[in-house]
Amino acid sequence: MSLRAELEAGLAGLDLSLRPEQQDALLGYLDLLAKWNKVYNLTAVRDPREMLTHHLLDSLAVVGPLRRQAGEAGRLLDVGAGAGLPGVVIAICCPGWRVDCVDAVGKKAAFVQQAAAALKLPNLRGVHARVETVADRYDLVSARAFASLADFTAGSRQALAEQGAWLAMKGKYPQEEIAALPPDVVVFHVEHLTVPGLAAERCIVWLRPVPPGG
């Protein structure tokens, strides 16, 4: 089966409808990632087919929940974005969202910038910085396997807009991490995901700050 056919099957499994040009962009991103990975070691996954499942479909699984919880437009900061997962995928699938992918490693932020130029994504930007130094404010702050929930929310809190929320992609339901959250951060939804072709457990933990006096 070709990569395109595998992508189409995965999208069907996720009940996600994308335009042909968006599918082209996802495959173009996969191609860029495979090429850059030979030189810059952006990800430990080397095989394009494995990249499709472990990176692309894993990130695509967040698109439906994001649309349902946060709508079709806004500003998103993807923290510790690495090669742009899920930030680049969100930028491709949700053009109404302006996506900044922040990473402390310069080559990873540079790759996201290159992807934005090559794939003609004006809503995507790579930012070389530590998240604690980000001064802009975002409606959503996301992370995929970045840090504990307590460290993630503490480190990115200044970047969260009023009424904003955190989106944390996790494997198994992180009971201990949730229990370790400070009292001024609340989990308001946990969504379990099924990623086509991936046997591992996945979930999204949605969090928001408790308003003063709340």
Question: How many angstroms separate the CA atoms of 116 and 91, rounded?
Answer: 9
Structure tokens at 120: 């003609």
Instruction: Tell me the pLDDT of the chain (214 aa) as tens digits.
Output: 798 999 999 999 999 999 999 999 999 999 998 888 776 666 756 677 777 888 899 999 999 999 999 999 999 999 998 889 999 999 999 999 999 999 999 999 999 999 999 999 999 999 999 999 999 999 999 999 889 999 999 999 999 999 999 999 999 999 999 999 999 999 999 999 999 988 889 999 999 999 876 6
Assessment of whether the complete model's pTM goes beyond 0.85: yes
Q: Can you spell out the DSSP letters for 16-54?
A: ----HHHHHHHHHHHHHHHHHHHHH---S---HHHHIII
Distance of CA 201 to the CA centre of its chain: 17
- 66 vs 63: CA distance, rounded Å: 5
Domains contained in the chain, CATH given: 59-209 (3.40.50.150)
Residues 6+ away with beta carbon under 8 Å from 46: 37
Cβ-count burial 42-60 (b if 16+ within 10 Å, e if not): bbebeebeebbbbbbbbbb
Nearest Cα residue to 136 out of 167, 102, 166, 182: 102
- Cα–Cα distance between 183 and 193 in angstroms, integer? 27
What pLDDT does residue 126 have?
Answer: 97
CB 76 within 8 A of CB 141: yes
